[in-house]
Structure 1
Amino acid sequence: MDLSALSDFLLVASHGGFGRAARASGRPKATLSRRVAELEASLGARLIERGERSLRLTEAGTLLHARTGPLLGEIAEAGAAVRGGMDRPRGRLRVSAPLLLSDTALGRIAARFVRAYPEVDLTIRSEDRLVDPVEEDFDVVIRVNPRPDARLVGRCVLRDAPWLVAAGDAVRPDPRADGGPPPLSCVVRAEPRPGEVWTVRDGSSRTAYAPVPVLRLSSLPM
């Protein structure tokens, strides 16, 4: 049964006519009539006897109205209660964030947050490893240069320009024999993806390099 069409039927039945229901709901009279007809067709039963100036519920329509009206009313009340409960955030919020961001910015942000929303129990766990929000029960994870993950919904909250810092001759490695980007020895926090290429801009010129980690550090400040 189409619950949307059932809702339209109950609206018409409660107001005693398509015109009254249309005026009360702001919906076109033709739309309500079509939706009720679709419900009748799906149920294989006539629900409303339409007259020139009034309508009358059939026996089937009276039964459907009596059995489903209170149920949809309770569903509407439950929805209103949920929406009302969400007007003010409350409950537990667990966040995983990188150490550098936590040490430099999140303390002040968290203090303002709990002052604004005192009913939220906020926990921020600072570490540079990529936690699993599903398995480790985190509500929010903050990641630097995240890799695509079909299980998660993401939003960019900050952009920054990465800089390549090195001695002058270190960024002029010999080109590879196969013509691919030359290897570049580097210090990394996250392991480069297979085939990953770094493109370095120097003014108007661009040069591509293949990163080759020689030192791996888990902490950005380190």
Structure 2
Amino acid sequence: MPQQHPLHIALAACAATATVAAAAGPAAAHDELIEAVPADGAALTEAPQTVTLTFSGELIDGQGIQSLVQVTDAAGHQWQDGPATVDGPALTAPLCADLPRGEYDVAYRVVYSDGHSEERSLEFTVEDPQAPAPGTAPSGCGVAAAGAPADAATADPSPAVAPGADDGDAAPAPSGAADPATTDAQDAAGPAVPGWVWAAGLAGLAVIGVGFAALGRKARALDHR
């Protein structure tokens, strides 16, 4: 049997390695975002009603796993109108109406069917001259940025409950109002005694004490005679 040249053996090994790597490459590749509407960096003359992200593979939805989309303007206001929905490889988030002019950041988090997750963001700009001014807070939709005045239409009319308190707990008494338990105790004890009465009583006791002391001295003097 003829002996193979070492160079031929090395070339054959390299070819086999390349073949295995080529076959394993597609199987090891992760899914990724393939389309975004609005597109990353898009300048829109009309505000979009939704954000739709399409990926190269199916998304896992349910069983405690939720894909998220957050659309935020430069002032920190959030403009997504409810949770995003998954339809196969597509993730769609509804947006509030009347998006103001300005830049928007679309941050998303998804979990692919192969189990790996991804968090990324993209941007788009609304340049509609008829849109509200930049920095306008959402009204009746979305979430205003922390520290921004709450919209009257979306303000929660229910009273705040202290941490650890149940909804059925009584509301705290207004500032300056008397505590009912304290008032009841004062009523049971009767009206308060003025301070001058206490002072007069103590003075009377002092006078009586002095009188008793004088009588004691006179009695001792009579005994010595």
How would you bin the TM-score normalised by the shorter chain?
under 0.3
> Looking at CA atoms only, which structure, 1 or 2, has the larger radius of gyration?
2
Which protein is richer in helix relative to its size?
1
TM-score normalised by length of structure 2: 0.24
TM-score normalised by length of structure 1: 0.25
